[in-house]
């Protein structure tokens, strides 16, 4: 319990649960997607609005962490703000995340979520806090 | 597929996936919780920051929907904004959602997320759009 | 009083108060700026963080209104969310606003605020509600 | 110019410009208000949606600053997110700000904006960053 809490098992449990696939990760940003199945639909058959923030959290916090850990820093989500524009029913939820600001204590990411026709369906703005590793 | 997308199966897929338990739903608000397991932890063993928006979306959109459907209206999340204050490692993510505004076209909800010691760990503000049922 | 409240005088009082200059307004977006003086500084000499949301509200709600009024609709700000990246001390607060979504009931705008060296200092996301004119 | 930028004149320029009156400031929170005049109305006669974030920024950043400066820290707004529920035409914009979280690096504030009939007209959530004074 304490050990699990302290160390983790290195796996992104919730990312795996929704079927997150990271397609590309570079200095410029991250592309990822999730296939739409009933596992991520809400009762009326649309993609559940929680999928977008889960996706954003996984890819933005993950990419920030990998960038700052070599400098002895840790990273964790500080805010996650999703705005929904258009429902997704089928296909994939496709995410493209871009870093807007790499500050000493804060990174800001913008994430666009599109359907398989390329229509913009949601936008997420994430603030990731960067702090010295307490260990 | 199309039929699934149009009608849904009445189940909250993503809510079930994270183990959402609704404890109480009244006119005043909703209380719910999720047990912390590796399924919802991020790689370092903390609760994944996507859990809070999923919880908020499930309970706030659900409660709004149940309130407005008898009047021929539908409800869907329009924005979901989470701010993280303190990590959760173990126990439960406990959610208490309160309606702040019941407008004709918009409901606003505030959700407080606490750990099992009652400490405030995150806050979510949700805007749920209410529209005439297109069918 | 009622007449003032019902009709307005057609002037953007708060925009004028901060010295808002609209430089360009097209279908693509809006560019505007505010000169930095003590009128818009906070006690420590930095630009007050309220300037950015005022700017965003004036230009985004204004441009949406001018676009939808010919169709018998009204527009008003529904949410205004600013994230601050870097302080501005002098020169101008320069704003570039782009429409991300033109929905039937909602327009979404992204606004970037830069200093005179072109550095990104803040980002604002605005939701503008569009409704039938009640008159 | 540089001196102005470095030190400020100790005055809240934008707060004064909108006519901000702080009514009460305690450990629990802050109450303040702004009288509605054409100076803060938008073109249709309603209170401009930028007033609420200005109010929130002035009172929340100000109160955080006064609390943390004795400990050698500085405070500045990091995010300011306003949601609008109901327009205000006349009377005052009344603000009640409550601290939700006093962290080492971040304070979170909730601000309720009401009209003179006590109706909730907007809510603002502010994140104020707290850092060691660089001087």
For chain B, percent helix, then strand, then coil, each to nearest 5? Answer: 25, 45, 30
Residues of chain A positioned with their CB less than 8 A from the CB of B19: none
Domain membership of residue B41 (yes or no) is yes
pLDDT in tens, D56-94: 999 999 999 999 999 999 999 999 999 999 999 999 999
Determine what percent of chain D is predicted with pLDDT higher than 90.
Answer: 89
Least confident of A83-87, B49-53, C80-84, D23-27: D23-27
What distance in Å separates the CA atoms of residue B81 and residue B75, rounded to the nearest whole number? 17
Quick one: which of A73, A62, A61, A66 has its CA closest to A104? Answer: A73
Q: Give residue for tokens 């009460």.
A: D24
Quick one: which of D110, D117, D77 has its CA closest to D94? Answer: D117
Domain membership of residue A54 (yes or no) is yes
**What is the pLDDT confidence band of residue C7, given thresholds at 50, 70 and 90?**
low
For residue C1, pLDDT over 60 is answered with no
| Number of domains into which chain A is organized | 1
Domain membership of residue A4 (yes or no) is no
In chain B, the residue whose alpha carbon lies closest to the alpha carbon of A7 is: B44
The average pLDDT across D96-110 equals 97
For residue C118, pLDDT over 80 is answered with yes
Look at D125 and B123 and tell me if their CB atoms are within 8 Å: yes
Q: With contact defined as beta carbons under 8 Å apart, do A53 and A121 qualify?
A: no
pLDDT at D28: 82
pLDDT at D9: 85
Cβ atoms within 10 Å of A115's Cβ, excluding its own:
20
| Two structure tokens written together for B109 | 């909800």
Domain membership of residue C73 (yes or no) is yes
Domain membership of residue C2 (yes or no) is no
pLDDT at B132: 95
Torsion-angle region of B8 (φ positive above 0: left; ψ -120 to 50: alpha; else: beta):
left
Quick one: which of B110, B113, B104, B112 has its CA closest to B126? Answer: B110
What distance in Å separates the CA atoms of residue C114 and residue C96, rounded to the nearest whole number? 8
- State whether residue B37 sits within 8 Å of chain D by CB: no
Collapse the DSSP code of D19 into the 3-class scheme (helix H, G, I; strand E, B; otherwise coil) and give the result: coil
Scored b (16 or more CB within 10 A) or e, B102-132 reads eeeebbbbbbebbbeeeeebbbbbbbbbbee
**What is the pLDDT confidence band of residue D27, given thresholds at 50, 70 and 90?**
confident
Distance from CA of A56 to the nearest CA of D (A): 18
Domain membership of residue B7 (yes or no) is no
Q: With contact defined as beta carbons under 8 Å apart, do C130 and C104 qualify?
A: yes
Q: Which of B25, B57, B71, B117 is catalytic?
A: B57
Residues of chain D positioned with their CB less than 8 A from the CB of A105: 105, 129, 131
For residue B32, pLDDT over 90 is answered with yes
The average pLDDT across B5-17 equals 82
Look at C14 and D50 and tell me if their CB atoms are within 8 Å: yes
pLDDT at B1: 31
pLDDT at B4: 36
Which CATH number goes with the domain that contains A29?
3.10.129.10
**What is the pLDDT confidence band of residue B78, given thresholds at 50, 70 and 90?**
very high
- State whether residue A89 sits within 8 Å of chain D by CB: no
What residue numbers bound the domain in which C92 lies?
Answer: 16-132
Mean pLDDT score across all residues of chain D = 93
Domain membership of residue B62 (yes or no) is yes
For residue B6, pLDDT over 80 is answered with no
> Residues B115, B118, B119, B123: what is their CA dihedral angle, to the nearest 10 degrees?
70
Q: Give residue for tokens 């100790």.
A: D10
Q: What is the ipTM of this complex?
A: 0.93
Q: How many residues does the structure list for chain C? A: 135
Best of B56, B82, B85 to disrupt the D interface by mutation (most D CBs within 10 Å)? B85
Quick one: which of D135, D1, D131 has its CA closest to D61? Answer: D131
Distance from CA of B1 to the nearest CA of D (A): 36
In chain C, the residue whose alpha carbon lies closest to the alpha carbon of D7 is: C44
Which partners does chain D have (≥3 C-beta pairs < 8 Å)? A, B, C
Q: What is the pTM of this model?
A: 0.94
For residue C2, pLDDT over 50 is answered with no
What distance in Å separates the CA atoms of residue A127 and residue B6, rounded to the nearest whole number? 35
pLDDT at D7: 64
The average pLDDT across A78-93 equals 97
pLDDT at A1: 30
Domain membership of residue C35 (yes or no) is yes
The average pLDDT across C45-57 equals 97
Distance from CA of D88 to the nearest CA of A (A): 25
| Two structure tokens written together for C128 | 């503008």
What distance in Å separates the CA atoms of residue C35 and residue C23, rounded to the nearest whole number? 13
């Amino acid at each position: 319990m304490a050990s699990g809490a302290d160390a983790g098992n290195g796996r992104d449990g919730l990312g795996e649960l929704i079927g997150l696939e990271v397609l590309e990760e570079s200095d410029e940003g991250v592309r990822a997607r999730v296939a739409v199945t009933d596992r991520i639909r809400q009762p009326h058959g649309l993609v559940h609005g929680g999928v977008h923030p889960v996706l954003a959290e996984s890819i933005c916090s993950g990419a920030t962490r990998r960038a700052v850990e070599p400098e002895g820093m840790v990273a964790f989500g500080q805010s996650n703000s999703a705005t929904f524009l258009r429902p997704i029913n089928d296909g994939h939820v496709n995410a493209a995340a871009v870093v807007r600001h790499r500050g000493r204590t804060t990174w800001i990411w913008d994430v666009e979520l599109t359907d398989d026709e390329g229509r913009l369906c949601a936008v997420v703005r994430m603030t990731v806090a960067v702090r010295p590793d307490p260990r």
